[in-house]
Each structure stands twice: as structure tokens, then as C-alpha cells.
């Protein structure tokens, strides 16, 4: 016998959410496959998903803008894309055990829908939309930041380190030599010094980076250089 589905109120309790409008959370868990099969007079979670998607984008964009003042527009966009990707949202949904609460049609349930990345990601956005409707932007922001902060720091470090490797692979393949990182200046007092680095490829400055030390400045410069290269590709 299959385990009983957890309710929206069960999930609210597990997440420490005090619902003012319980119905909106129930709606956030209703997948259209249930309505297609049963014809129940319910609304699916698609409208809440639409709303949650916009709220999520704003919360993450604001967080990145305020947390990483040295990043360029292109770097911010790439970080945001990574944080709101389907796979990232699905992992967040798994972390809150959202799949056990989704109300799916029988066919979708039997095909493993409760653990499909797309359904989990859509469900997460719908749940966020419900929080926004019930508790406003501040409530939605608090909920999202609980997932974003640690992942953003980890993914930033990982992506930056990977950027130097990727840039070296690119220049080695194309020019048979690695890029040159050249310190172009420093600013600030000794205890808060900021390094500025130029990324030089084939004698030309392709990008610049800033950081609290040379390594961090080089990593940011490498990521910016990759962005330049990607924009120039046909």
C-alpha cells in the first residue's frame, strides 16, 4: 500500500510557515495531471507557478546584486541562471520533501512524477507563489534566501575556480599558450586591499578582475574573459 500523501498543512508545519490562507497552499500542490484525469473542480498550480517564477527571479537578482558588488552584469546573469535552474530548484524541492506532497494524476504518479525535476521545480515555484500571496514579498524573500545563501557561496567559489581552468583550456587549444594574468593596480588600506588584474590573451587585455587577493582577482577576470569570448562567438 502506498504511503499517504502529506498535506499542504503538513508541509507548512515542517517549514515553520503559519498559513493565513490555507487554500492557496493546497492549490500550489495541485498538478494539472490530476485535473485532466479526475475532472475535479480545482485550479492547478500553474498560475501560482507563473507568479513564483517572477518572485524567485527578483529575490535572487537582488541577493546577487547586493552580495557581489564587484561582479559585472554578465557575471551576475550567469550566477542567477545557475541558481534558478531546473536542477537547482528540484534539489531545493527535494530538500523540503515537496514531492511527497504533490497531488498528481495516477499516470503521472506511476511514472515517477513526484521525483521528476521539472515537476519538482515547477512545484517549488508554485509554493513560492503561494507564500508571496499569503505573506507578501518579505515572506517569500525569507523563504528563498534560506536556500540561496549557502548555495550561492559554494557555486560562486566553484564556478570561479572552474573559470580559470576553462579559460586555460580554451587558450591552450587555440593559441598553444595559457592566458597571462597581470596585476594592474591595488587600492584601499593594507588590511582591506583590493587587487586589480588584467587578463591578457595574445598581447591584448581581454578582461579585468577585482578581488581581495590576486587569486580571487584572477578568478573573476577569467570568468569575465569567458563571458567576452561567449559573446563574440557566432
Q: Which cell numbers hold the place of 23?
A: 487554500
Query: Is pLDDT of 2 > 50?
Result: no
Q: Which domain holds residue 206?
A: 179-232
Domain co-membership, 49 together with 147:
yes
Chain-centroid distance of CA 7 in Å reads 26
**Residues of the chain with pLDDT > 90: what percent?**
43
Domain co-membership, 12 together with 88:
yes
Total domain count for the chain?
Answer: 2
Domain co-membership, 27 together with 109:
yes
Question: What is the arithmetic mean of pLDDT over 180-187?
Answer: 91
Structural domain includes residue 171: no
* Active-site residue identified among 53, 108, 134, 198: 53
Which has the minimum average pLDDT: 34-48, 59-73, 118-132, 201-215?
Answer: 34-48
User: Is 162 labeled as catalytic in the residue annotation?
Assistant: no
Is the pTM above the cut of 0.75?
no
Structural domain includes residue 201: yes
Question: What is the arithmetic mean of pLDDT over 10-38?
Answer: 89
| CATH number, domain with residue 202 | 3.30.160.20
Domain co-membership, 153 together with 188:
no
pLDDT higher at 21 or 231: 21
Domain co-membership, 123 together with 202:
no
* Active-site residue identified among 125, 134, 218, 224: 125
State pLDDT tens for residues 130-176.
999 999 999 999 999 988 876 766 565 555 557 788 888 888 888 88
Across the chain, what does the average pLDDT equal?
86
Query: Is pLDDT of 1 > 60?
Result: no
Question: What is the arithmetic mean of pLDDT over 115-134?
Answer: 95
State pLDDT tens for residues 83-108.
899 999 999 999 999 988 999 888 77
| CATH number, domain with residue 80 | 1.10.1520.10
Q: Which cell numbers hold the place of 112?
A: 515517477
Query: Is pLDDT of 4 > 70?
Result: no
User: Is 53 labeled as catalytic in the residue annotation?
Assistant: yes
Instruction: Report pLDDT for 157.
Output: 54
Dist CA 220 CA 210 (whole Å)? 7
pLDDT higher at 194 or 140: 140
**CB of 24 within 8 A of CB of 9?**
no
Instruction: Report pLDDT for 158.
Output: 53
Domain co-membership, 34 together with 143:
yes
**Residues of the chain with pLDDT > 70: what percent?**
89
Domain co-membership, 49 together with 124:
yes
Q: State the burial class of residue 174 (Cβ atoms within 10 Å of its Cβ: 0-12, 13-18, 19+).
A: exposed
Residues 6+ apart with CB under 8 A from 63: 145, 148, 149, 152
Structural domain includes residue 169: no
Query: Is pLDDT of 228 > 70?
Result: yes
Amino acid at each position: 500500500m502506498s504511503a499517504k500523501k502529506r498535506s499542504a498543512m503538513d508541509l507548512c508545519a515542517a517549514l515553520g510557515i503559519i498559513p493565513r490562507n490555507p487554500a492557496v497552499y493546497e492549490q500550489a500542490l495541485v498538478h494539472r495531471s490530476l485535473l485532466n484525469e479526475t475532472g475535479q473542480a480545482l485550479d492547478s498550480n500553474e498560475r501560482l507557478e507563473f507568479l513564483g517564477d517572477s518572485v524567485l527571479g527578483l529575490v535572487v537578482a537582488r541577493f546577487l546584486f547586493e552580495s557581489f558588488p564587484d561582479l559585472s552584469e554578465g557575471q551576475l546573469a550567469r550566477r542567477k541562471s545557475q541558481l534558478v535552474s531546473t536542477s537547482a530548484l528540484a534539489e531545493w524541492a527535494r530538500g523540503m520533501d515537496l514531492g511527497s506532497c504533490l497531488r498528481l494524476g495516477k499516470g503521472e504518479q506511476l511514472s515517477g512524477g513526484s521525483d521528476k525535476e521539472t515537476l519538482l521545480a515547477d512545484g517549488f515555484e508554485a509554493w513560492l507563489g503561494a507564500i508571496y500571496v499569503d505573506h507578501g514579498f518579505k515572506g517569500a524573500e525569507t523563504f528563498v534566501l534560506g536556500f540561496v545563501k549557502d548555495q550561492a557561496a559554494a557555486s560562486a567559489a566553484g564556478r570561479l575556480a572552474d573559470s580559470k581552468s576553462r579559460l586555460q583550456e580554451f587558450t591552450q587549444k587555440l593559441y598553444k599558450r595559457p592566458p597571462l594574468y597581470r596585476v594592474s593596480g591595488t587600492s584601499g588600506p593594507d588590511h582591506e586591499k583590493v587587487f586589480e588584474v588584467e587578463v591578457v590573451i595574445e598581447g591584448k587585455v581581454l578582461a579585468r578582475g577585482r578581488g581581495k587577493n590576486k587569486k580571487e582577482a584572477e578568478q573573476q577576470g577569467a570568468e569575465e574573459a569567458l563571458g567576452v569570448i561567449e559573446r563574440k562567438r557566432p
